[in-house]
Structure 1
Amino acid sequence: MKIGIIAHLRHPIAEPFAGGLEMHTHLLARLLRDRGHAVTVFASVHSEPALELEAICSETALAGVGTAEASDIAFFKEHHAYLSLMTDLRLRDFDVIHNNSLHYLPVTLADTLPMPMITTLHTPPFCWLESGVRLCSGKDHAFVAVSQSVAKLWNPVAKADEVILNGIDLHKFAFHPLPDDASYLVWYGRIVPEKGLHYAIEAARKIGLPLRIAGPILDQDYYRTKIAPELGADALHVGHLAHSELARLVGGARAFLCTPMWDEPYGLVVAEALACGVPVAAFARGAIPEILDESCGVLATPDDVASLADAGLAALALDRRACRRRAERVCDAGRMVDGYQALYRGMIARASGCGSNLVPMQQGEPTPPRITAYELPVRNVQQHA
């Protein structure tokens, strides 16, 4: 298949990734190419050229979403970049377009394209994207949610046609047995208020283990006022790491503390920790309960440091190989690509008027499984306090 992937433009689709969406887009494009598909990624100028990049805009790095964007020059840069792209795609020969952006224009203009398009919903509804989704009337268009949680949030606006959970490269996040000298907890992600790092620092001190912190500082005020004053020997920020370094750091930890202050749409950091064999203690928000089960994680009451500390102590006793097995079952990027590949083929077949809802598979392609919600229970410290 010839597949066009529309990325968002705030950050480059390249390592070290600014966040989970950049990593997801990069991994999806790479694995589709590895399966023999011709993939073009429409992204910002500093994205990785090896992805068969067509740069459509410089990075906009918008600070937020909402009506305040209209006064920002970056808003207009994104608007015109996507408008130009959608106009150009009418004349291109792609079999399918995968809209992986967070922008309203691609989904609004889906019905102007001669080929089918899917839009992945990576976030809860917000005003600009919601307006585009409400205007989307393309009969050859499908919505995919990255979790049951996200699908439920979008349901009043538009029903998701599929739920395909995100995945990670299990080879890049390999299993790490518990080191003999393992003596720290880990937290990693974007250092912004909604990720709740300050809760992890406080909980780690209650647990009595030092915390190692990795990730980009994307909110300087938050870092300066809430994080920097708390750093020291027992709470050390090691910087923004590439995948190989990050996997070593995470794999050497006794447990991962996950502290979202919003409904996390998926939680790639949770999947990465499990792949390394690291148990997870997490606030019970968003899709995180869909990833964890009682063999690999313990849920805590959101925004409750004492509950998180109890969850962290309980997580220390979990089996690391069980964590890896959970990742292999539900977090493998190959499963994610199977789901998207099957959806692409079905949409192409329907758009071409074929009687079957399948396009003949290429030799060697795996049979894609049906994506379903996960059924196993997860331990919750709220039930064991």
Structure 2
Amino acid sequence: MTLRVALISTPFVSVPPKGYGGTELVVADLAKALRARGADVVVYATGGSDLPGIEIRSYFPAPQWPPDRDIERVHATWSLRDAARDPRGFDVVHVHSPAAVEMARLSPFPVLCTLHHDHEPELSDLYRRTPEVRLVAISRSQARRETAPIAAVVHHGLDPGRYQPMEDQGYLLFLGRYDRVKGVAQAIEVAARAKLPLVMAGEPHEREYYDSEVRPLIEKHRVLEVGPVGGNRKAALMARARALLFPIQWEEPFGLVMIEAMLSGVPVLGAARGAVPEIVEDGITGVICDDATEMVAAARVADKLFNRERIRKLAEQRWSATRMAEDYLTVYRAAQLEPLVVEEAGSDTAAEG
């Protein structure tokens, strides 16, 4: 019997995204991989979304940017009501926004929610008030920090076909928003100390921080700043880098850019925080760095230390959308067949796909 799945994305960015949009990229690749595994998938997303061969239903005709909780609630409510009225019904409703958890009572079908954010006390309170919704963490690190019960851990995966390894052109890459917690200043410091060129792709998150602290460093060290990138341009920029710098200053729940780099055959030099130790195989697909000095040393020898072909092959095994879909299918079947049993908050023993 064909499994029928409703995926509820956000109303903020199209699926797949045309530029920035980590959650929406995951939803797009999950939908395609589930369909390839024989599932019947319906995606609830904003207008402008495009997934050939997969039905998309939209309340808003265009992306509603910037993010707004009220807009998110309208989208989630309409999506859940539409799914509930579907004459064929669904085996599972898989949501990707907190507002959909808040409105989960509208669904007569099992609901699970992937957490795409760090621990927020207000949201954890919401999750505890809706125990009928299975929570899926995207890393063990995130699961440990979440105070609401976690039913499973499923790491993100992406379509390897989007990423094609290319010849190393000798530069280090920082890709992401220019924010303190992302370690943008630390990335510039590492590249300068390693005496290697740095390319930065992203945009300021806090203008005052960028103008007062980041821009002077960019000018001082002659960093090449290319702005936000997406699609083929992003993939090519990634694939030609000697290494990706990921010097985060917070407990990042996942870090999608790391698996994008590895699928491109590019090593990741990441700070030993958040999900980095789960994603990077130390000395094989990158280096888990305790401090900037260690990251500088790794950057200097990255062209000799790593086998880019091996990084790509390992990434295809660990970080593909197919693996992610198989893990979610296991969670979906559990939601259908078993009563909800969750581990204590912060436990490492929740089921992991």
Q: Confirm or deny that 1:208 pairs with 2:195.
A: yes
Q: Secondary structure at the match of 1:3?
A: strand
Are residues 221 and 54 of structure 1, via their aligned partners in 2, closer, same or farther at CA, if it must alter by over 3 Å? farther
Equivalent residues in 2 for 1:220-239, closer than 5 Å: 220-231=207-218, 234-239=222-227
Equivalent residues in 2 for 1:62-211, closer than 5 Å: 62=66, 74-92=68-86, 93-101=89-97, 103=98, 105-138=99-132, 141-154=133-146, 156-158=147-149, 160-176=150-166, 178-179=167-168, 182-211=169-198
Q: CA deviation at 1:318?
A: 2.2
What is the one-letter code of the residue matched to 1:99? Answer: V
What is the one-letter code of the residue matched to 1:298? Answer: V
Gaps of 5+ in 1: 64-73, 352-370, 374-385
Q: Secondary structure at the match of 2:227?
A: coil
Gaps of 5+ in 2: 340-350
What is the one-letter code of the residue matched to 1:236? Answer: L
Q: Match for residue 31 of structure 1?
A: 33
Are residues 146 and 275 of structure 1, via their aligned partners in 2, closer, same or farther at CA, if it must alter by over 3 Å? same
Q: 8 Å contact 1:169–1:332 — kept in the other structure?
A: yes
Are residues 40 and 192 of structure 1, via their aligned partners in 2, closer, same or farther at CA, if it must alter by over 3 Å? farther
Q: Secondary structure at the match of 2:74?
A: helix
Are residues 196 and 56 of structure 1, via their aligned partners in 2, closer, same or farther at CA, if it must alter by over 3 Å? farther
What per-residue deviation string (whole Å, max 9, x for no partner) do you get for residues 174-202 of structure 1? Answer: 233x44xx221111123333222121111
What per-residue deviation string (whole Å, max 9, x for no partner) do you get for residues 8-46 of structure 1? Answer: 233333333423212111211222233343322222334
1:53 is aligned, of 38, 51, 56, to 56
What is the one-letter code of the residue matched to 1:157? Answer: A
Alignment partners' CA distance in 2, 1:136 and 1:254: 46
The two structures have a TM-score, normalised by structure 2, of 0.84
Alignment partners' CA distance in 2, 1:199 and 1:328: 30
Q: Confirm or deny that 1:296 pairs with 2:268.
A: no
Q: 8 Å contact 1:9–1:43 — kept in the other structure?
A: yes
Measured on the aligned residues, the alpha-carbon RMSD in Å equals 2.6
Alignment partners' CA distance in 1, 2:13 and 2:205: 11
What is the one-letter code of the residue matched to 2:91? Answer: D
What per-residue deviation string (whole Å, max 9, x for no partner) do you get for residues 121-176 of structure 1? Answer: 222221342232011132xx42211111111112x321x22111111211211233
Q: Confirm or deny that 1:328 pairs with 2:316.
A: yes
Alignment partners' CA distance in 1, 2:180 and 2:46: 26
Alignment partners' CA distance in 2, 1:126 and 1:47: 29
Instruction: Provide the identity percentage.
Output: 30
Alignment partners' CA distance in 2, 1:108 and 1:312: 45
Are residues 350 and 372 of structure 1, via their aligned partners in 2, closer, same or farther at CA, if it must alter by over 3 Å? closer
Q: 8 Å contact 2:8–2:79 — kept in the other structure?
A: no
The two structures have a TM-score, normalised by structure 1, of 0.78
Q: 8 Å contact 2:15–2:51 — kept in the other structure?
A: no
What per-residue deviation string (whole Å, max 9, x for no partner) do you get for residues 326-353 of structure 1? Answer: 31232121111111122223323458xx
Q: 8 Å contact 1:291–1:330 — kept in the other structure?
A: no
Q: Match for residue 270 of structure 1?
A: 258
What is the one-letter code of the residue matched to 2:241? Answer: A
What is the one-letter code of the residue matched to 1:25? Answer: V
Are residues 229 and 14 of structure 1, via their aligned partners in 2, closer, same or farther at CA, if it must alter by over 3 Å? farther
Q: Match for residue 357 of structure 1?
A: none
Alignment partners' CA distance in 2, 1:173 and 1:40: 26
